[in-house]
Amino acid sequence: MTKEQLHLRLNSGRLSKNKILELVEELLHAPDLVGELLKAIWIEDKENTFNASWVFDHLMRKNLDFLLPFIDDFANGLENLESESCIRPMAHVCELLVLAKYKKKNPKYIRSLSSSVLEKIVSACFDWLIGTRKVAAKVFAMTSLLHLGTEFKWIHPELKPILENSISTGTVGYKNRAQKTLEELKKLGY
């Protein structure tokens, strides 16, 4: 697949789940196009479309390693995201990265996720958590921040009151994840 073919497919109208999965299968053989996919996400975010971000999320679920050569571009773009349809998949990818580093302790991610990249993920996750975002982005952010707090010690004391103050007004899904996160924080002494 070429760069032009990728953009043509992304811009051919809303992609069904099956079309997204077909495109992901093709992209598994073209990891060099991840940079182009990221560029398409930044553009789509401003146009309130989301084919690229959904394809990206599903591709990262299949092979997160494809992101590593583009990790700085990914992290640098997080703070500028505005569209809910782009934020949700990107928040999920942040969670996948954080889990690869902190929970799975994958050496590739331990080496590749620099302090600068992690700080940008922290900043985006806090923005999504305290902002007026839908529950999915908040839930992914919560999990990311819980794990990031093992390295950035200031996170847990900031995260706990945010969750305590918002849990009563959250959706069922939000309350469930917030409760589990608060239980984990308690185990860690917060």
Q: Calculate the CA 169 to chain-centre distance.
A: 24
Give the 3-state secondary structure of residue 170. Answer: coil
Rounded CA-CA distance 190/186 in Å is 5
Cβ 164 vs Cβ 182: under 8 Å: yes
pLDDT for 106-131, tens place per residue? 999 999 999 999 999 999 999 999 99
Mean pLDDT of the chain: 96
Q: Closest Cα partner for 53 from 6, 86, 76, 83?
A: 86
pLDDT at 46: 87
pLDDT for 139-187, tens place per residue? 999 999 999 999 999 999 999 999 999 999 999 999 999 999 999 999 9
Give me the amino acid identity at 49: T
pTM summary value: 0.95
